[in-house]
């Protein structure tokens, strides 16, 4: 497994992280999740990404079972501070210092570990100065409950303010061929500070997979996202046709190309890849071996330049939480 350094002050970790957001109560789902995680660890993927609100804590319990007896083989990244109702729907943020420390205690218990490797607020709480939130995590680091500080969906100014309190090892943020806004200011700032970028949604919620049609099923959460609506989706799918054509020429999938593109944006980029089945582990590792010619890379960069994909990445009601 190739490794990359997590920030100038962090450790070497696997060059991709495994995301495990989806939690299902379908029979056998728990066993499949654990098997997938263990397969990833066996293949050398040690960077496990989760959040205390995934499955209302169930995801952490599953990870705890998967890593039992293998704690030294994994690097645990946990997001916190996102409040949910009993059905798991977002209802706000709570990144007050006391809340952060309380959430951490619960995560340590559910995971069955003594320390979390990377701990980060899921979003910057507009009602709490980021210095106070980061200060709480700094306390947890000094207490030996957390090893490294991370941020998620922070903008350039917030990243600088946080770093002034304590060195930030990683910034988790949406980044893909379809979502490149971080290249304007956030990515340069992260690189100036020596902060690794950990992209999530590298397939833009399936848009870049090459498997989407303009007929989303009833109840599909993406229907609320502007880029998946009406004329926007029709236009965006035509862009994806270019990606699919290149993938066919290279004997791979559009999704694999999209992952490979993100991976090749710099040694400080460590993508999070959702893997719900054991067989997906090897598929994603193969994507890291894809090579682009200069003309292929230029075509992708021009086709998917900033602003080329129509529609905001979030619905208006949650757009205010975005880092743009």
Query: CA 204, 288, 13, 77: dihedral to nearest 10 degrees?
Result: 20
Which residues carry out catalysis? 54
For residues 35 and 277, is the Cβ–Cβ distance under 8 A? no
The DSSP output letter for 16 is S
Rounded distance between C-alpha atoms, residue 268 and residue 169, angstroms: 11
Cβ contact 20:54 at 8 Å: yes
* Residue 179 DSSP one-character state: B
Take residue 234 and report the two structure tokens written for it.
């029709």
């Amino acid at each position: 497994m190739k490794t990359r350094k997590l920030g100038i002050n962090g450790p070497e970790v696997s060059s991709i992280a495994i995301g495990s957001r989806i939690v299902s109560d379908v029979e056998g789902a728990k066993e499949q999740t654990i098997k997938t995680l263990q397969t990833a660890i066996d293949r050398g993927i040690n960077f496990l990404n989760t959040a205390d609100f995934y499955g209302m804590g169930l995801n952490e319990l599953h990870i705890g079972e998967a890593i039992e007896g293998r704690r030294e083989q994994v690097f645990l990244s946990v997001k916190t501070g996102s409040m949910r109702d009993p059905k798991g729907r977002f209802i706000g943020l709570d990144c007050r210092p006391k809340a952060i420390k309380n959430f951490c205690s619960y995560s340590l218990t559910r995971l069955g570990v003594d320390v979390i490797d990377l701990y980060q607020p899921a979003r910057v709480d507009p009602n709490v100065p980021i210095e106070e939130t980061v200060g709480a995590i700094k306390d947890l680091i000094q207490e030996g409950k957390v090893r490294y500080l991370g941020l998620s969906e922070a903008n350039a100014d917030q990243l600088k303010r946080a770093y002034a309190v304590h060195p930030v090892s990683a910034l988790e943020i949406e980044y893909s061929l379809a979502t490149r806004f971080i290249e304007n200011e956030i990515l340069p700032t992260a690189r100036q500070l020596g902060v690794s970028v950990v992209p999530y949604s590298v397939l833009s919620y399936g848009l870049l997979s090459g498997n989407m049609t303009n007929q989303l099923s009833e109840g599909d959460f993406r229907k609320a996202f502007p880029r998946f609506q009406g004329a926007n989706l029709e236009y965006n799918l035509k862009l994806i046709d270019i990606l699919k054509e290149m993938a066919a020429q290279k004997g791979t999938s559009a999704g694999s190309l999209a992952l490979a593109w993100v991976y090749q944006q710099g040694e400080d980029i460590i993508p999070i890849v959702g893997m719900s089945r054991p067989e997906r582990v090897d598929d994603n590792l193969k994507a890291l071996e894809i090579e682009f010619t200069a003309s292929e890379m230029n075509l992708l960069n021009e086709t998917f330049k900033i602003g080329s994909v129509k529609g905001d990445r979030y619905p208006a009601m949650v757009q205010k939480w975005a880092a743009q």
